[in-house]
Chains A and B, each alone.
Chain A
Amino acid sequence: MAIEARNVGKNFGDFVALEDVSVTVGDGALTALLGPSGSGKSTLLRIIAGLETPDTGEVLIGGEDVTHSPARTRGVGFVFQHYAPFKHMNVHDNVGFGLSVRKRPKAEIQDRVKELLGLVRLDGLASRYPSQLSGGQLQRMALARALAVQPQVLLLDEPFGALDAQVRAELREWLRRLHEEIHVTTIFVTHDQEEAMEVAEQIVVMNKGRVEQAGAPRDLYESPANEFVMSFIGPVNRLGDAFVRPHDIQILAQDDGTGTEALVERVVHLGFEVRVELKLHDGRDIWAQVTRENAQELELREGQILSVRLPSPRVFAG
């Protein structure tokens, strides 16, 4: 089911959470709402789910105006940031809840729960209580619970936010594969650009209650619409009004007259990537990203004076 938000506005008292936001998500797509905290991304997600009512604008799911429909009739699966487990129920009853309130027969619920626990790899944990599960397991239980009622739309609020780095990486990969398998239209909220780039097919960049840009991850990276998108997606050097990507800075082995003189202030080895902090001859600080091999060839040392070639910088109007 395609999702569309049209000119949505929402205020909380004096705080403008969303201002004239329009977003379109295609049927079966996997989309990230990306932005810093307070950008309105979670509010937009909750408005799509029906957990908040917009002050202005409309929400359409599958072409149907659901702006004033209650959450429970929207056919939306929602995974909360802190999973919102039903603490007094075991995993089986949590996952089966949506079917149980629909008064489905016990045998059917049993089968469906079993199938879903297999899908989220929680087999054998059906009789555990939420207090006995790890963060990653709770996350997957919450996902199974949302999927049990076969939602037309799956919404996830900061799905990996509260997990440690390794579990995060695993779940990202797994979410992407799950989406390939079940192909339900999915939107997730994140403040982590790397996460958005890795998982999503489409990214909507939000800032201060507005959409800055929407598009495929690669398009956003290669042709950012403005300063905010450029600096939020991927690393960036700021030179006055202009922006330069650190990996676009070339460090020259020999000064051939085309480069600018720079002093190496610090060399940081981050595994494959090496980060070189430089001071240009005019006193501006800048950093470059080179590969490990490249750094070795150039024999980079602190205090060294070398020559760099800057790409033509990007300047955004206004």
Chain B
Amino acid sequence: MSFRKLGVRTIALGYLALLLLAPVAMIFYRTFEHGLSPVWSSITQPNAVHAFWLSLEIVAIAVPLNTAFGIGMALLLERGHFRGKAVLGTLIDLPFAISPVVVGLSLVLVYGKTGWLGDWLAEQGIQVIFSVPGMVIATAVVSLPFVVRETMPVLRELGIDAEQAAETLGASAWQTFWRITLPGIRWGVVYGVVLTTARALGEFGAVSIVSGRIEGQTQTLPLFVQDRFENFDPTGAYTAAVVLALLALGTLLAMNLLTRRTHRKVAA
């Protein structure tokens, strides 16, 4: 190996180690510093368990929503011909450009008690802000672009020949979508879903504003981590952080295994 190659590798790995590996390793180390029993009591306390399930619940609603929306929007942007397509394409990226805190605040302005839809929602007996619906909306907004952006290039590469072939063979639009289009773009969608899930699990800013951070009620795992940290319970904070990291890792691993298995099937 040449000197230059070695140098580039050292810098790249060093950068990664300083920014990512070392902090994550430290969290793991601190968590298990005093053995397993404080960890166990931390993750079994009711607020932690509640935060864990709440986070999963939000992900379980927001991710499928964004997946369906993302595929639909990608099809529209890639295959549709209409005025304002470029504007719509730019709008989709807006959640990346706006700070999550601003997203949270703007949701309060629309759905809050004094917001636009506040009165009407109150009459219907629906509470959005300081409750789960608002948190789902906030999570969906900040993770909106992933599936669209990952699906569009795959859709472009797939082309329309196969879809038209299916049509001439008698397939309905619905059959063509499920049997030709979706399998053709699945890697893009899967990758988009992984990114969306990771982002949704970790979302802090927007959810923090719309949730009101009520312990045991509207506290997700990231909010719980901050709460423990501020209340001088480092073990609680570290433990929850490790659980979050493991969840994210699990998602990546599951998708990786899934893609690999299907890849092998296709190549066989």
Chain A residues proximal to chain B, CB less than 8 Å? 49-51, 70-74, 76-78, 80, 82, 84-88, 97-98, 101-102, 129, 131, 142, 145-146, 148-149
Contacts and interface: CB of A to CB of B under 8 A. Distances in A.
A72 B169 CA distance: 6
A101 B169 contact: yes
Contact of B169 (A82, A85, A98): A98
Given A85-B162, A88-B266, A101-B179, A78 B170 contact: no
Interface of B: 161-162, 164-172, 175, 179-180, 183-184, 266-268
Nearest to A75: B170
B161 A97 contact: no
B171 A101 contact: yes
Contact of B165 (A73, A74, A84, A131): A84
A71 B184 contact: no
B168 A88 contact: no
A80 B180 contact: no
Contacts of A146: 168-169
Contacts, number: 69
Contacts of A142: 165
A189 to B, nearest CB: 15
A149 B184 contact: no
A51 B168 CA distance: 8
Nearest to B169: A98
Contact of B183 (A50, A88, A149): A88
Given A86-B180, A87-B184, A88-B183, A72 B172 contact: yes
User: Most chain-B CB neighbours within 10 Å: which of A86, A98, A129?
Assistant: A86
A72 B167 contact: yes
Nearest to B170: A72
Contact of A84 (B162, B171, B267, B268): B162
A87 B172 CA distance: 19
Given A88-B266, A129-B266, A78 B172 contact: no
B167 A71 contact: yes
Contacts of A102: 170
Contacts of B268: 129
18 contacts: A50-B168, A51-B164, A51-B168, A70-B167, A71-B168, A77-B168, A80-B165, A84-B161, A88-B183, A88-B266, A97-B179, A101-B172, A102-B170, A129-B266, A145-B165, A145-B169, A148-B169, A149-B169
Contact of A101 (B170, B183, B184): B170
Contact of A88 (B161, B164, B165, B184): B184
A129 to B, nearest CB: 6
Contact of B168 (A72, A129, A131): A72
Given A70-B167, A72-B167, A149-B170, A129 B184 contact: no
Contacts of B179: 97, 101
A101 B267 contact: no
A152 to B, nearest CB: 12
Contact of A86 (B162, B167, B267): B162
Given A80-B161, A84-B165, 20 more contacts: A50-B168, A51-B168, A71-B167, A71-B168, A77-B168, A80-B164, A84-B162, A85-B162, A86-B162, A86-B165, A87-B162, A87-B266, A88-B183, A88-B266, A97-B169, A98-B170, A101-B169, A101-B175, A129-B267, A145-B165
A78 B164 CA distance: 9
Contacts of B267: 129, 131
A162 to B, nearest CB: 13
A98 B166 CA distance: 8
A283 B180 CA distance: 62
Contacts of B175: 101
A100 to B, nearest CB: 8
B163 to A, nearest CB: 9
**Complex A-B, nearest 7 residue pairs according to Cβ-Cβ distance, in ascending order:** A84-B161, A98-B169, A84-B165, A78-B168, A88-B183, A101-B171, A71-B167
Contacts of A51: 164, 167-168
A97 B161 CA distance: 15
Contacts of B172: 72, 101
A84 B266 CA distance: 17
A97 B166 contact: yes
A270 B112 CA distance: 85
Contacts of A88: 183-184, 266
A79 to B, nearest CB: 9
Nearest to B182: A88
A116 to B, nearest CB: 13
Contacts of B183: 88
A84 B267 CA distance: 18
A60 B23 CA distance: 71
Contacts of B164: 51, 71, 78, 80, 84
A49 B168 contact: yes
A77 B164 CA distance: 11
B161 A82 contact: yes
User: Most chain-A CB neighbours within 10 Å: which of B179, B183, B184?
Assistant: B179
Nearest to A70: B167
Contacts of B266: 87-88, 129, 131
